Structure 1
């Protein structure tokens, strides 16, 4: 992302407000959410593979999503149960 130092300094001093397009590009560049950039969220440091899979899941039809969520919920529950018994 090519932005001059002056523009960034103006954003930091609240002298200018970036457009939603600029905010979106900045969020992608820094791997954070737009909410984080505007002070409303936490930093997002999710694994890129996880995020890619979430995007792919979002494209699935509702019935397939429901089946997938059922499987994932069972796997997570099994993992938590194993953790509880190994402590």
Structure 2
């Protein structure tokens, strides 16, 4: 199922909506999820770089993931502490 330039132009101008199959195909082509592509869902507000990092973390072995998440948690805690004292 290929999309012509004319059809893609209609999507961009909100003159037509793609089928579910086309939306899934576009999401695969851009390397994102459907919810990210349509701007809905829990992860839709994340930029592609963040989504890619989250996906990479999910692929790690449990020990590596645990170490990385501990480092991230430390940075988050420091950020929140700075915000609390800045008020």
TM-score bracket, shorter-length normalisation: 0.5 to 0.7
TM-score, structure 2 normalization: 0.58
Provide closer, same or farther for how the CA distance between residues 79 and 61 of structure 1 changes in structure 2, counting only shifts above 3 A. same
Q: Alignment RMSD, CA only?
A: 3.7
Q: Which runs of 5+ in 1 are unaligned?
A: none
Higher relative contact order (Cα pairs below 8 Å, separated by 6+ residues) = 1
Does structure 1 retain, via aligned residues, the 8 Å contact 2:35–2:41? Answer: yes
List structure 1 segments (4+ residues) > 4 angstroms apart after TM superposition: 5-9, 28-32, 36-40
Cα deviation digits, residues 3-51 of structure 1 (max 9, x gap): 1456978x73xxx9433xx332223567864246789636824233322
Q: Distance in 2 between matches of 1:36 and 1:47?
A: 9
Once the two structures are TM-superposed, the CA of residue 84 in structure 1 deviates from its matched residue by 0.8
Paired position in structure 2 for 1:48: 48
Q: Which runs of 5+ in 2 are unaligned?
A: none
Paired position in structure 1 for 2:77: 77
